């Protein structure tokens, strides 16, 4: 059996009554009186006891007995006075208010003062300055923005009303607005909990100007408020950039990412936004679970880039060997990356590679070795592009040689032109024997001049770089598979080559010196990025440096406001 539990001893000498508004002034000395102050704070102390008259049978006067209890020290040694008064008078004290009383008074005073300040602040000409939590960014504080708001509402109004609904209405509606705000997740408990705020009526006001800014993917677990990422009232100047914490509040939540993955699995794949149609890219499937892997930081747990992670290969039909073009001794002139890869006008991405600008200097398509290019006189070349034009050129060699003789050899007399053309045709016949053999050499000869069937040609034909197939019918043109070089590979992130060129070379990130196949993407892995973009590397590694959070970057203003002066002030 368990031992009986004894209640703790109560310190009876301590005068502790927290439910009352007053306490004995002697409490600080550790000896409060037992009766304590009155409800109004008056000291009620008199004597330590009230003597009792002990009158025995037959006695007339009797004698007085001390009644002080044991908790107060027991019967005193001297006893009561002859008139029955206690000999131990209790000195008066100055009662003090209890902590409960002080706290209630402070709360009441604070509430009253707060209501008075609110009443003065929200009524009158100081309302806007009183309710404004901080200066607006220069865009929303500009005169242009005020003009746009005026045109929208059709009358003069507080600039706060452009975003907030409350200033558009009277004070009588504010309690209702406050109640609605609580329902939308603005209660104190909701504000301190982890996770973003849901969209509210204020977001509709944002979209009145910024039309079409659809946020992220359609499989989001919830629609988030604009101010969750775009923080206003943080100071004048430009609005602050989105902080990575705003991104990881969702992408770092396993619960939200799991909900997004579950929602996405039930959706039509065509519901997800496509990339900019102006961008030429190689199609690839969306990941099975979408982009819902939990990420808390780029340098910590960001997944490997999708192209490398999934082993995506270049499906381009063009035959190209980086190793051959970059190694000394493989070709007549050693090339650098910049000989072919040039920046676009913004310095961000690579401009498209064209045959005329980057290939023709070495791959001249000169089928006639007897008409070489000289210092001031070009040779005669095949046209590059459409195979129908190539065949038409070959079947009109008489005209092509005559035009070449006129424009480059200076021959104008008819008999001399006829002799020149006849001489060139004899030279061509010695090389190719027949016109049909010439066409096959042009289309099917590879880098070594070899043609299917064991024949050889004196130059490298179309098959050197292209996939060429036999004609589908008699007297038809051989088919050349169309070349498709993607404009970009990492389409979900932005990049700036110009900035990375300072202090880095192309080979620091792209391992192309051993790449011999077209299918090699030669993209850098995430490790090569993290070496610099991390706390250890000391270079900016925020999410916004590479990613955007809107599907398509729309115009700053909606079409309805395009005729107005732009928001951005000089």
For 64, the enclosing helix (H) or strand (E) is strand 63-65
For every residue of 171-229, DSSP letters joined together read: GGGHHHHHHHHIIIIISHHHHHSSSPPBP-HHHHHHHHHSTT--BS-TT-SSPBPGGGT
Nearest to 210 by CA among 229, 233, 190, 187: 229
pLDDT of residue 45: 83
Instruction: At 206, give phi and psi (nearest 5°).
Output: -65, -45
Q: How far is Cα of residue 346 from the mean position of the Cα atoms in its chain?
A: 22
| Tens digit of each residue's pLDDT (9 = 90 or more) over 443-497 | 999 988 898 888 888 888 999 999 999 998 888 899 999 998 888 888 888 899 9
| Tens digit of each residue's pLDDT (9 = 90 or more) over 81-136 | 888 888 888 888 888 888 888 888 999 999 999 888 877 766 666 666 666 778 88
More confident residue, 192 or 99: 99
Please tell me the distance from the alpha carbon of residue 512 to that of residue 519, in angstroms, as a whole number. Answer: 12
pLDDT of residue 568: 37
Question: What residues does 53 pair with on adjacent strands?
Answer: 64
Range in 209-213, 385-389, 528-532 the model is least confident about: 209-213
Please tell me the distance from the alpha carbon of residue 294 to that of residue 250, in angstroms, as a whole number. Answer: 9
**Angle (nearest 5°) at CA 158 between 156 and 163:** 115
Going by their DSSP bridges, the two strands 468-469 and 455-456 should be labelled as: unpaired
Range in 97-106, 136-145, 409-418, 549-558 the model is least confident about: 549-558
Nearest-Å Rg of the Cα atoms of the chain is: 46
Average pLDDT over residues 47-52: 84
The SS3 assignment for 51 reads: coil
The SS3 assignment for 290 reads: coil
Q: In this structure, are residues 140 and 232 in contact, taking their beta carbons and an 8 Å threshold?
A: yes
Strands, E, within 94-154: which ranges? 96-97
Please tell me the distance from the alpha carbon of residue 521 to that of residue 108, in angstroms, as a whole number. Answer: 71
Q: How far is Cα of residue 20 from the mean position of the Cα atoms in its chain?
A: 57
Strands, E, within 409-508: which ranges? 450-451, 455-456, 468-469, 479-480
| Tens digit of each residue's pLDDT (9 = 90 or more) over 528-557 | 999 999 999 999 999 988 988 776 554 454
More confident residue, 183 or 35: 35
Give the per-residue SS3 of 497-559: HHHHCCCCCHHHHCCCCCCCCCCCCCCCCHHHHHCCCCCCCCCCCCHHHCCCCECCCCCCCCH
Long-range contacts of 31-34 (CB under 8 A, 24+ apart): 33/90, 33/93, 34/72
Cut 0.75: pTM above it: no
First and final C-alpha spacing in the chain: 87
Which residues 6+ apart lie within 8 Å of 93 measured at CB?
A: 24, 25, 26, 33, 43, 45
Average pLDDT over residues 363-375: 76
Please tell me the distance from the alpha carbon of residue 466 to that of residue 34, in angstroms, as a whole number. Answer: 108
| Tens digit of each residue's pLDDT (9 = 90 or more) over 288-343 | 888 899 999 999 999 999 999 999 999 999 999 999 888 877 777 788 898 999 99
Q: In this structure, are residues 364 and 381 in contact, taking their beta carbons and an 8 Å threshold?
A: yes
Nearest to 387 by CA among 479, 470, 457: 479
Q: In this structure, are residues 51 and 66 in contact, taking their beta carbons and an 8 Å threshold?
A: yes
Q: Give the residue extent of every domain in the chain.
A: 387-480
Q: In this structure, are residues 451 and 441 in contact, taking their beta carbons and an 8 Å threshold?
A: yes
> pLDDT category, 155, cuts 50, 70, 90?
low
Q: Which residue has the tokens 């099975």?
A: 288
Average pLDDT over residues 165-169: 65
pLDDT above 90: residue 434: no
> pLDDT category, 167, cuts 50, 70, 90?
low
pLDDT above 80: residue 425: yes
């Amino acid at each position: 059996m368990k031992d009986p539990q004894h209640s703790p001893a109560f310190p009876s000498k301590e005068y502790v009554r927290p439910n009352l508004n007053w306490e004995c002034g002697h409490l600080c000395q550790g000896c409060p009186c037992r009766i304590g102050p009155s409800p109004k704070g008056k000291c009620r102390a008199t004597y330590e006891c009230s003597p009792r008259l002990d009158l025995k049978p037959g006695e007339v006067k009797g004698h007085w007995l001390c009644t002080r209890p044991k908790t107060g020290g027991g019967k005193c040694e001297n006893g009561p006075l002859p008139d029955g008064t206690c000999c131990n008078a209790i000195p008066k004290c100055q009662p003090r208010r209890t902590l409960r009383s002080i706290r209630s008074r402070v709360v009441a005073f604070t509430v009253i003062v707060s209501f008075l300040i609110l009443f003065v602040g929200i009524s009158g000409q100081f309302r806007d300055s009183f309710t404004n939590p901080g200066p607006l960014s220069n865009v929303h504080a500009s005169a242009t923005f005020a003009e746009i708001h005026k045109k929208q509402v059709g009358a003069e109004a507080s600039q706060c009303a452009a975003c907030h609904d409350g200033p558009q209405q009277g004070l009588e509606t504010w309690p209702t607005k406050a109640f609605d705000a609580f329902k939308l997740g603005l209660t104190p408990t909701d504000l301190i909990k982890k996770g973003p705020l849901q969209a509210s009526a204020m977001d509709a006001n944002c979209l009145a100007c910024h039309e079409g800014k659809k946020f992220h993917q359609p499989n989001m677990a919830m629609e988030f408020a604009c101010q969750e990422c775009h923080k206003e009232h943080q100071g004048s100047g430009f609005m602050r950039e989105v902080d990575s914490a705003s991104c990881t509040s969702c992408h770092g939540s396993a619960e939200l990412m799991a909900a997004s993955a579950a929602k996405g699995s039930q959706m039509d794949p065509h519901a997800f936004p496509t990339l900019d149609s102006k961008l030429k890219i190689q199609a690839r499937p969306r990941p099975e679970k979408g982009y819902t892997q939990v990420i808390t930081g780029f340098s910590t747990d960001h997944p490997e880039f999708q192209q490398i992670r999934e082993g995506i290969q270049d499906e381009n039909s063009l035959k190209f060997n980086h190793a051959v073009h970059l190694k000394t001794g493989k070709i007549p002139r050693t090339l650098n990356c910049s000989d072919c890869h040039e920046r676009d006008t913004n310095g961000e991405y690579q401009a498209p590679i064209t045959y005329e600008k980057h290939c023709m200097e070495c791959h001249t398509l000169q089928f006639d070795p007897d008409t070489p290019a000289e210092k001031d006189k070009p040779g005669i070349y095949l046209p590059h592009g459409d195979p129908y034009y190539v065949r038409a050129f070959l079947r009109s060699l008489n005209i092509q040689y005559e035009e070449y003789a006129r424009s480059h050899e200076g021959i104008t007399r008819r008999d001399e032109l006829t002799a020149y053309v006849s001489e060139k045709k004899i030279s061509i016949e010695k090389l190719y024997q027949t016109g049909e053999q010439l066409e096959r050499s042009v289309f099917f000869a590879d880098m070594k001049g070899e043609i299917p069937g064991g024949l050889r040609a004196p130059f490298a034909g179309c098959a050197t770089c292209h996939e060429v197939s036999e004609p589908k019918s008699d007297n038809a043109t051989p088919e050349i598979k169309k070349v498709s070089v993607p404009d970009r590979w990492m389409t979900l992130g932005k990049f700036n080559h110009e900035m990375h060129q300072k202090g880095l070379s192309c080979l620091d990130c792209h391992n192309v010196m051993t790449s011999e196949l077209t299918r090699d993407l030669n993209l850098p892995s995430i490790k090569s990025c993290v070496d610099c973009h991390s706390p250890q590397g000391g270079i900016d590694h925020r999410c916004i440096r590479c990613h955007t959070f809107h599907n398509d970057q729309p115009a700053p203003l909606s079409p309805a406001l395009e005729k107005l002066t732009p928001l951005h002030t000089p």
